[in-house]
Copies of this chain bind each other. A is one copy, B any other.
């Protein structure tokens, strides 16, 4: 079977597992490694699709759980699918809802059949089976859909992690039988908490299923970053070389660099947009908390050298004023900047892979960003 989404590998890095590629999707090519902005409720918060394009995004993520509850998958289907509903003509990946259900904590109950939970909107009882996750994602119409998984909490006992990974594996088989196929590619998800053996077994099992792509889930849930990198080092060698690998929910600049070096092709995270709305910008020199009094009369751009609209047109003093005055334009401009920052980082990473100097680029970037943990940088 030819998957709807195909990874073309363009260049492999010699000193690491990093590779540059192009993910061919029904909604255009996506250069990898890539970062996917998160559009939870069919909008990447505070931005328009045109702004996402300008920032450099070619693929975005939307959340099945949220859209299922509101406005409803059926409505999105009748609107012509998610692309048309939200006016985004690039690629879309929808998660399966598994992670959001996991975040509900005590509000959900997991069984072999699926997950019972209460809606965070109105408290209504909902039961979601792997088959439902497929139907909903079919209606949403994303280019890439994710298998329904259980995301184990951190920390968790080895026995729980093993049981959870096994359940996720059984659910994956049900997803495969219920998957819409056609223009939608199904990715499986490697679980196994922070246990390398478990992760490795899970990856091998998934590799045997010859999936269109592989999510690596259940990381960045509270464990030290070093453990996350160890898991990547255990999982990636087991996955098929020609399939995309997607590290779910990870978006800090240091983790993007370190993830790429360990063979990851795709990332997503609410981090850049969420911290922007709280007034924090990512810059070459580290984080800038714009409300800080030191910026009150600072007429320089947020990140000198950055080419985004925010940095070309507005000063730190103005941005600080907007946040002090609780003006929406402030969080709009920081959101644009942070997305531009991460998309630019990914573009530079891709260029560094092509130029054969990814290690040097990564070290330089992380040092300037104020990130000096040499152990995690040991690539």
Contact = CB atoms under 8 A, between A and B. Distances in A.
Interface in A311-335: 313-315, 317-318, 320-322, 324-325, 327-329, 331-332
A27 to B, nearest CB: 16
A76 to B, nearest CB: 9
A327 B48 contact: no
Interface residues of A, number: 37
Given A318-B42, A321-B70, A75 B329 contact: no
Contact of A79 (B87, B317, B328): B317
A326 to B, nearest CB: 9
Contacts of A135: none
Contacts of A318: 42, 79, 85-87
B75 A317 contact: yes
A324 B70 contact: yes
A297 B80 CA distance: 12
Contacts of A78: 297, 299
A78 B43 CA distance: 38
A329 B71 contact: no
A47 interface: yes
Contacts of A325: 41, 43, 66, 70
What 7 pairs across the A-B complex have the smallest Cβ distances?
A46-B328, A87-B313, A71-B321, A41-B325, A43-B329, A43-B327, A85-B318
Interface of A: 41-43, 45-49, 66, 70-71, 75, 78-80, 85-87, 296-297, 299, 309, 313-315, 317-318, 320-322, 324-325, 327-329, 331-332
25 contacts: A41-B322, A41-B327, A42-B318, A42-B321, A43-B322, A43-B327, A43-B329, A45-B327, A45-B328, A45-B329, A46-B328, A46-B329, A46-B332, A48-B329, A48-B332, A70-B325, A71-B317, A71-B320, A71-B321, A75-B296, A75-B297, A75-B317, A85-B317, A87-B314, A87-B318
